[in-house]
Amino acid sequence: MRAIRGVYAIADTGVIPPQGFASTVARALAGGVQILQYRSKLTDRRQRLRQAAELAALCRRTDTLFIINDDVHLAAEVGADGVHMGRDDPTVEYARAVLGDKRLIGLSCYNELSLAIEGFQRGVDYVAFGSFHPSTVKPDAVHATPALLQRARRCLDLPIVAIGGITPENGAALIKAGADALAVISAVFATPDPRAAAARFSALFTQPE
């Protein structure tokens, strides 16, 4: 399994309209997205399964890692590369039992290094911190700082994802502080040109330090 690094785009059904959902995501992938997460709070299970299956097929064609948010069984059903878990989701052990050892498990750690250390001990494959900047998707999210990334980098042998209000203008500082990947939603999918927006983020990972 490839490492978590680069542009981590989150295809959120609350941001991307259902009409042309997959084609919008495809444009973003063409801009250099390395990891795609499907995030949906829709109650219609059939629609979620259809969208997830479409994105899984798209990611296989484009060699993009595909992660499902929260839903371990949906991840297994569509053959995703892994699942991303939050504080209120099933346990890491449960996800591992369902998905096996060859799928990725990511963990949201908010602004708590202790959660990341615990996740590492329980066998997660990457951790995510945030929100680093005000977020329109999660306006009430706790605030994380670049110093947290620096501390995590020193004590964790895991890929680290930064999330929350990240733009091409503020993302470079987070990479410098220790983020391996930048998770973005609105900054890519709420723009007129998702491909160009993703390309701007992708360029941050090729700049000389």
Active-site positions?
A: 39, 108, 138
Nearest to 55 by CA among 145, 179, 189: 189
Token reading at 178: 């220790």
CA pair distance 37, 26, nearest whole angstrom: 13
Query: Crossing angle for the helix pair 21-30 and 45-62, nearest 10 degrees?
Result: 30
- The H or E element spanning position 36 is strand 33-39
Cα angle 97, 98, 103; round to 5: 90
Q: CB of 196 within 8 A of CB of 22? A: no
Tokens 């680069």 correspond to what residue? 6
Length of the chain: 209
